[in-house]
Every structure is written in structure tokens, then in C-alpha cells.
């Protein structure tokens, strides 16, 4: 009788452990074991994560900013949920998009991808021009001159015309910018070289600079620099834009 009870207890414990392990199965394994395009994800949870980490580059409404617009039918790196998960997970270093696999869990990445897909057709009033290929026709987006586009009206414009020498001293020594971006902004690794901003962002480069100074870059080591005086911001910006690379 005692042996039977022990056997029953052992079997019960085994079943409970198995059930717990099944419920706590890593979301990465779940995603890997299925066609991710059939997984819906939690759109509302994805929105929360998006606003925390993605909105600073892609806009609070997905309208685009430093990063592309998510509300049209044009895509740069594929339009499926699987494509989005790959981009969020691995990043696009050449475009300044970091990998989020260390900061976000697999389930969170799935949720964000699902939220981004839900934005198509929402038509925010301040959306930037389409980029990439149409997801159905494959046609390239028509590139327009965006020099008059204001990406975010809440971002205070930092004018040029400051003291370039003062800006160089602030960047290289006083503020410690060179620690991450290299002496004279030549970069150390990844995309911390910011001498190529005008090549990467074209007519939006000035807006990008202003946005990053005000809000930083979520998920990276780049903090906001709102504590600087207007003169310091102006001098640093003048220095950075005086050393931009002219040719690809």
C-alpha cells in the first residue's frame, strides 16, 4: 500500500512539473516551432512595448521619423510577420536600427511585430513619404523631396550658425561624446559614426539630430541631452554638420 502511494505521488509530481514546463515554454521555442506568420501576438501589449522602445524612431503613430513609416503598404525589408521579427531581432546596422534580441523577449518581439502590422492604413496626418516596395505589386515607392517635412512638431529646432571650434571642444572633450562616437565623430563600432548623417538621412538629417538630442535613442547608450544650453546644442550641431562626409 505504501509503495502504491509513493508511486502515485511520484507520477503526480512528474505530471505537475511537465505541465509547468509546458506553460513556461520559452516563447522563442514556440515561435521557432511554428509558422510565425500564423501567430497573431497581443496587439495591445505590442503597442505598449512599441511606444516605449520604437516610437522615438518610427513615430508614436507609426508615421515614421528617423525610421520608416509603418502605416502605408510599402516595406524596406519585407512585409510579413516573419520579416518583421527578423528585423526587430537582428536589426539593420547599416540603417542605424539596432538588434533588440537582448532587450526584448521573443514574445514581446512577436507582439510588437503584430502591432506594427495593425498600423497599415491608419493614415496619420503627419506620415512621412513611403519607402521601399509595395507589398503586393512590388513597385518601388516614388521618392519625393522631403526637405520641408517636419517629422515631429514637438521637437525644438536647433539652428546652425554656432561656434564650430567650441562645438568641437564640447564634442571631443567636455561632454565626452567622442567616447562613443570616436574623435571628431569618426565612430568606434556599429553606427556610431555620425559624420555620415546627411548621406543616411538626406534632407531629414537636421531633424534627426534635433530629435536624438532631445529624446536620446531608447535601447541604446545614447541619452537625451536636454541639460545642455541652447548655445552648446547649437555649437555641437554646427561642428557635426561641418564635418559631414560629402560622398558615398
The pLDDT value recorded for residue 25 is 41
pTM of structure: 0.55
Check whether residue 47 and residue 126 sit in a common domain: yes
Check whether residue 81 and residue 169 sit in a common domain: no
Check whether residue 35 and residue 84 sit in a common domain: yes
* pLDDT tens across the length of the chain (248 residues): 555 555 455 555 555 444 444 433 444 544 444 455 556 778 999 999 999 889 888 888 999 877 889 999 999 998 888 999 999 999 887 777 888 998 899 999 999 999 999 999 998 988 888 888 888 988 888 654 443 344 555 678 899 999 999 999 999 888 888 878 888 888 765 557 788 888 877 888 888 899 889 888 766 668 888 889 999 999 999 999 999 987 65
Q: Which residue range is the domain that position 209 belongs to?
A: 164-242
Residue 24 lies in a domain: no
Q: How many CA atoms lie within 13 A of 36 on its CB side?
A: 20
Query: What is the CATH number for 54?
Result: 1.10.760.10
- What region, left, alpha or beta, does residue 218 occupy, with left being phi > 0 and alpha being psi -120 to 50 degrees? beta
Residue 118 lies in a domain: yes
Return the residue matching grid coordinates 539593420.
92
CA distances from 239 to 188, 227, 248 (A): 19, 19, 20
Query: What is the CATH number for 218?
Result: 1.10.760
Residue 73 lies in a domain: yes
Q: How many domains is the chain built from?
A: 2
Check whether residue 65 and residue 104 sit in a common domain: yes
Q: How far apart are CA 14 and CA 6, in angstroms?
A: 12
Amino acid at each position: 500500500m505504501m509503495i502504491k502511494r509513493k508511486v502515485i505521488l511520484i507520477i503526480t509530481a512528474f505530471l505537475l512539473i511537465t505541465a509547468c514546463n509546458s506553460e513556461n515554454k520559452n516563447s522563442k521555442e514556440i515561435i521557432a516551432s511554428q509558422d510565425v506568420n500564423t501567430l497573431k501576438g497581443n496587439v495591445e501589449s505590442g503597442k505598449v512595448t512599441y511606444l516605449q522602445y520604437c516610437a522615438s524612431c518610427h513615430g508614436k503613430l507609426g508615421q515614421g521619423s528617423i525610421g520608416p513609416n509603418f502605416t502605408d503598404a510599402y516595406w524596406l525589408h519585407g512585409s510579413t510577420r516573419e520579416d518583421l521579427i527578423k528585423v526587430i531581432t537582428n536589426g539593420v546596422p547599416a540603417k542605424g536600427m539596432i538588434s533588440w534580441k537582448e532587450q526584448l523577449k521573443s514574445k514581446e518581439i512577436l507582439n510588437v511585430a503584430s502591432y506594427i502590422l495593425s498600423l497599415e492604413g491608419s493614415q496619420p496626418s503627419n506620415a512621412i513619404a513611403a519607402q521601399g516596395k509595395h507589398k503586393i505589386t512590388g513597385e518601388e515607392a516614388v521618392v519625393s523631396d522631403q526637405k520641408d517635412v517636419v517629422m515631429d512638431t514637438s521637437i525644438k529646432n536647433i539652428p546652425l550658425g554656432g561656434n564650430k571650434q567650441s562645438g568641437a571642444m564640447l564634442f571631443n572633450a567636455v561632454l565626452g561624446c567622442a567616447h562613443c562616437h570616436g574623435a571628431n565623430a569618426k565612430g568606434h563600432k556599429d553606427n556610431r559614426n555620425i559624420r555620415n548623417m546627411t548621406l543616411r538621412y538626406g534632407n531629414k538629417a537636421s531633424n534627426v539630430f534635433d530629435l536624438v538630442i532631445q529624446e536620446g535613442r531608447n535601447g541604446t547608450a545614447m541619452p537625451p541631452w536636454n541639460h545642455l544650453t541652447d548655445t552648446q546644442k547649437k555649437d555641437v550641431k554646427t561642428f557635426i554638420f561641418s564635418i559631414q562626409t560629402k560622398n558615398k
